[in-house]
Amino acid sequence: MRVIGIDPGLRNLGWGVIDTEGSRISHVANGVCKTLNVSLSERLLSLHEQLSAIFSAYAPQTAAVEQTFVNKDGAGTLKLGQARGIAMLVPAQFGLTVGEYAPNTVKKTVVGVGHAAKDQVAHMVRVQLPGADLAGPDAADALAIAICHAHHGASPVLTMRQRA
């Protein structure tokens, strides 16, 4: 089964694709969708177009997105939520269900500790996906989300429409 993990961000949206076969996982690809310093609507459109191209290229069967945490910056949280909306929309457009995981759940699944640092997450992703060349911390987080989804019963159920 092919799983895509998405780490939402307005400037940098991380993505990572893995294949699973039983308990075995292998790295397929990872990267970061970047946006320019343009209007919010143009950034969201860019994220949608880039993520749609990734879905077309790698044909994942299921998807997972990290849940947004609320911080002191309400405006920043709202903008992150809009990027997360794109991260939820694109899989739905491809007929996929979307698993949602809290950051602590992802870290506990991949590292074994719910409050692990980003460098610990990246290290454990490299350990679990030997040979993976990580495109950056956002891509490492996205691969961790995909790994978490694979361990928590990812299912390739198609909901919106059957993929052609």
For residue 31, count other CB atoms closer than 10 A to its CB. 18
Do the annotations mark residue 66 as ligand-binding? Answer: yes
Which residues form the catalytic set? 7, 66, 138
Cα–Cα nearest to 90, from 54, 138, 58, 137: 54
141 is in an annotated binding site: no
Adjacent-strand bridge partners of 26:
19
Helix ranges (DSSP H) in the chain: 40-58, 74-93, 103-110, 118-128, 137-151
How many angstroms separate the CA atoms of 123 and 113, rounded? 13
Q: Is 119 annotated as a binding residue?
A: no
Between CA 68 and CA 155 the distance in angstroms is 22
Q: What residues are designated binding site?
A: 7, 66, 138
Q: What residues are designated binding site for Mg(2+)?
A: 7, 66, 138
